[in-house]
């Protein structure tokens, strides 16, 4: 692997792309440590403390993965690129249903650019909605992480929390678009899919801390963790590179006294055509019930409050219902997305 890295760095164009990708990741990680105005950092540390694990903190941990680790500091990029992922899911699901969108998809590069533009437009209202959800969760934690936020103040200019609430919402939405812009810079001038790199960078940034915690707890646990990680990575790469080769036989053509063409080749169909998309689809949908229910956990109406708490506990990421539903949805989305890819 080291030799492959050395060979890559010898190529000027590839070296420039690698360094540019790393530079963008550094900018994103710096932004991930700039907190949103009005955050109580002491309360935030208590919410994400593993010893104080609750259904709400489990939900926030999943959202933290999508934000690339920025939610644990409730930074300006706390929502990461998750609203864009949701918008992409909606557009992809609507494309086979709406004839106009399907026609755009068949127009080639021009149509794809138009669909991407629609996805960006849809990202902004989705970022506002998700920002309200995440900020409401943070405002309702014990102790409250955002004491200056009140969702009702968004439509009440006379509220004393009107300015602070809107400043939080504008900051979160702008942070999402900034993270998306960084991801697109990586896609255009760097290496790989920028959105995936942003999420991956946030996950990798937390690995040294987790390894240090395991090492200080138990050396055996650390060794088992490294072995399982290695086996998992090798298995994923092996499956990702797998192909089903469909044989194709070309007919011969006779022109005058000569015979042209003929021979055989194959169509390489990837075993994992859907990639990570089904996993993202499933997690995105499973997050919504608990996210919406969390808005009503402090409702004055008793049955609404009890129902909201029950839904948050039901969709707890450590529960059996979440795991079973996640498993079934991944299978269904894998079939659906593979069918779309195979048609194209």
What tokens were used for 61?
């941990």
* Percentage of residues of the chain with pLDDT beyond 70: 87
Rama region for 37: left / alpha / beta (φ>0; ψ in -120 to 50; rest) = beta
Task: Note if the bond before 323 is cis, omega within 30 degrees.
Answer: no
Instruction: Give the pLDDT band of residue 249 (cuts 50, 70, 90).
Output: confident
Can you tell me the distance from the alpha carbon of 72 to that of 29, in angstroms, rounded to the nearest whole number? 13
Can you tell me the distance from the alpha carbon of 174 to that of 29, in angstroms, rounded to the nearest whole number? 16
CB 61: neighbour CB atoms within 10 A?
A: 16
Instruction: Give the pLDDT band of residue 121 (cuts 50, 70, 90).
Output: very high
Per-residue b or e along 34-55, where b marks 16 or more CB atoms closer than 10 Å to that residue's CB: ebbebbbeebbebbbeeeeeeb
Task: Give the per-residue pLDDT at 52.
Answer: 59
What mean pLDDT is predicted for residues 76-82? Answer: 84
pLDDT digit string, tens, across residues 144-195: 778 888 777 888 888 888 888 899 899 999 999 998 999 899 988 888 788 8
Helix (H) or strand (E) holding 265, with range, is strand 264-270
Tokens 């680790």, residue?
69
Asked if residue 74 lies in contact with residue 145, where contact means CB atoms within 8 angstroms, the answer is yes
1 pLDDT higher than 70: no
53 pLDDT higher than 60: no
Instruction: Give the pLDDT band of residue 8 (cuts 50, 70, 90).
Output: low
Task: Give the per-residue pLDDT at 261.
Answer: 64
């Amino acid at each position: 692997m080291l030799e492959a890295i050395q060979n890559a760095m010898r190529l000027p164009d590839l070296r420039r792309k690698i360094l540019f990708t790393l530079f963008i990741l550094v900018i994103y990680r710096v932004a991930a440590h700039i907190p949103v105005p009005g955050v109580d950092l002491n309360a935030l540390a208590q919410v994400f403390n593993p010893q104080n694990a609750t259904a709400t903190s489990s939900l926030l941990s999943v959202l933290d993965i999508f934000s690339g680790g920025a939610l644990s500091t409730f930074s300006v990029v706390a929502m990461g690129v998750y609203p864009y992922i949701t918008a992409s899911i909606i557009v992809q699901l609507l494309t086979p249903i709406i004839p106009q969108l399907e026609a755009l998809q068949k127009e080639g590069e021009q149509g794809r650019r138009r669909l991407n533009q629609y996805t960006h437009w849809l990202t902004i209202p989705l970022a506002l909605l998700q920002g309200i959800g995440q900020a409401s969760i943070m405002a309702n934690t014990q102790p409250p992480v955002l004491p200056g936020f009140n969702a009702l103040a968004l439509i009440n200019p006379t509220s004393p929390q009107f300015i602070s609430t809107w400043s939080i919402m504008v900051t979160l939405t702008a942070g999402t678009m900034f993270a998306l812009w960084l991801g697109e810079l990586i896609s255009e001038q760097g290496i790989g899919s920028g959105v995936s790199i942003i999420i991956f960078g946030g996950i990798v940034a937390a690995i040294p801390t987790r390894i240090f915690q395991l090492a200080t707890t138990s050396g055996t646990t650390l060794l088992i963790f490294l072995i399982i990680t290695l086996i998992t990575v090798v298995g994923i790469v092996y499956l990702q590179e797998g192909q089903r080769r469909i044989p194709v036989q070309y007919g011969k053509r006779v022109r005058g006294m000569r015979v042209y063409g003929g021979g055989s080749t194959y169509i390489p169909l990837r075993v994992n055509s859907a990639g990570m998309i089904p996993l993202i689809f499933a997690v995105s949908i499973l997050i919504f019930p608990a996210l919406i229910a969390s808005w009503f956990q402090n409702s004055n109406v008793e049955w609404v409050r009890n129902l909201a708490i029950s839904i948050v506990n039901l969709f707890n990421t450590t529960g059996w219902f979440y795991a079973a539903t996640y498993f079934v949805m991944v299978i269904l989305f894998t079939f659906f997305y593979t069918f779309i890819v195979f048609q194209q």
